Amino acid sequence: MNLVSKRAAVLLFFSLLLLIGLSIFSIRYFHKASTWIQHPANKHLFENGKLLSQGAIYDRRGNILVQINDGSINFNEDKTVRTALMHVTGDLGNNVETGALVAFRDKLSGWNIVNGLYSLDKRTISGKEISLTLDAGLCALAYNKLGNRQGAVGVYNYKTGEILCLASSPSFDPLNPPDVKGNPGKYEGVYINRFLSSAYTPGSVFKLVTAAAAIDNIDDNENKTYLCEGNLQIGKDAVTCMSSHGEVTLEQALANSCNCAFARIAIELGKGKLQEYANRAGFNSSLAIDGIKTAVGKVDLAEAKEIDLAWAGIGQYTNTANPLNFMAFMGAIAHNGMRVAPQIIQGGEELLFINTPKKERILSPQTAERLKQMMRNNTLSVYGEGNFKGLELCAKSGTAQVGGEKKPHAWFAGFLDREDFPLAFVVVVENSGSGVKFAAPIAASVLQQAINY
Ligand SMILES: [Zn+2]
């Protein structure tokens, strides 16, 4: 090889090395830049771990929820709004992982992958101003209705995916943080947004999943009846109802929340079918809300014996449900079986649905329609239309046993069958008692307010 060829080979080698290096950097840049830029050591953005730049988060009506001015953070002037929205905005100590001050740091700083921190057009500050889909007044009402009890409330538009109301209790005023460590009982899990990040035993609201499977898989399920004698013996164990419901159809079993009938239905369906419909309803997977991942509600029947399958079909056994995910399942029933992924940022599509398809068919239109009629019947025949005037409410209550001395979790979930207010909702009140008694009134107040705006 002559000298020229040797030099050419060396040059080629280094060129290749440069190319490989550039490729690796580019790939890492596109994947990690957002994380690099938000590192608190970045002096362009942070001073002592606090965001330096300007930025603001508004609710859907233009109310300021939180504003950053050269490192100082201001919240809404109303204490109730500040407290109700604390899990959404985050707190001054950045303890709330899903709060906007942590979760939407890059958006607040105005950073994007093309322009970095510096906007070419100084007139546009859209990257630094985030409008949420939430209605602060509705969130405050929901938080007040939870009172001193622990729990979560959510309402969203099942056609557009916009979350209008979100509340998680306990909370605190971010301007006057309490002594959380000194009051472990009162502030248990206070930094957790229970609506997004918790999973509870669902109890009877889960019967909607079992009912969906029954509609699709049990012959003549419209006319078939199940006998409830108040007690169903399965081996050495028994499933019980508060009283004997007699011969009930699927619709009557749902309205009366008959455990014995649903235990029979679950066994008739078998593990495979119940597991399939639980997965379809959103269990065992997480939704991503503008990049924030929700907790996973679980249904795992792999090791379930017959009695376990019976209890799983009525929402007990080892089942857990994430409130937001369950609300999206309610939305799918309302929306002809099509689940629209919930979102919290207005017009935030560019970041949305990285992990979640925007729309996903989880039930056939026929199955969704039948469930809707059954849930409407629940209101008309059991919950009382007078308690939900004008809402065209379709719902299911749940009273989830949690074992030990603790009172059950109260659930109430469903939707409005109204073209002008396509809203689905979920209410969970921890360790309170009956769903109809403790969760349904909160849903009624919040939904009435939602349609009065
Ligand atoms: Zn019964």
* Ligand 1 centroid to residue 225 C-alpha, Å: 12
Question: Hunting for tokens 């509870």 — which residue is that?
Answer: 200
| Closest to 424 in 3D by CA, of 163, 186, 55, 113 | 163
> Could you tell me if 52 and 43 are in contact, meaning their C-beta atoms sit under 8 angstroms apart?
no
Break the chain into its structural domains and give their ranges. 46-194, 199-452
Task: Return the H-helix or E-strand segment holding 340.
Answer: strand 338-340
Q: Can you give the pLDDT at residue 36?
A: 67
> Could you tell me if 249 and 224 are in contact, meaning their C-beta atoms sit under 8 angstroms apart?
yes
**pLDDT at residue 56 tops 60:** yes
Instruction: Tell me the DSSP string of 90-148.
Output: --TT---TTSHHHHTHHHHTT-BTTTBT--SSTT--GGGEEEBS--HHHHHHHHHHHTT
- How far is Cα 52 from Cα 167, in angstroms, rounded to an integer? 29
- How far is Cα 379 from Cα 47, in angstroms, rounded to an integer? 55
* Ligand 1 centroid to residue 364 C-alpha, Å: 28
pLDDT digits (tens, 9 = 90+) for 26-53: 888 777 766 666 666 665 555 555 555 6
* Ligand 1 centroid to residue 297 C-alpha, Å: 26
What average pLDDT does this structure show over 339-344?
94
| CATH entry 3.40.50.1820 includes domain 199-452 | no
**pLDDT at residue 21 tops 60:** yes
pLDDT above 90 as % of the chain? 73
- How far is Cα 240 from Cα 52, in angstroms, rounded to an integer? 60
* Ligand 1 centroid to residue 312 C-alpha, Å: 16
Coil, strand, or helix at residue 377? helix
pLDDT above 70 as % of the chain? 88
Q: Can you give the pLDDT at residue 122?
A: 38
Q: How many other CB atoms sit within 10 Å of the CB of residue 177?
A: 14
First-to-final CA distance of the chain: 84
Q: What is the pTM of this model?
A: 0.86
* Ligand 1 centroid to residue 310 C-alpha, Å: 13
What average pLDDT does this structure show over 193-213?
98
* Ligand 1 centroid to residue 60 C-alpha, Å: 45
Question: Which structure tokens are listed for 355?
Answer: 């992990």
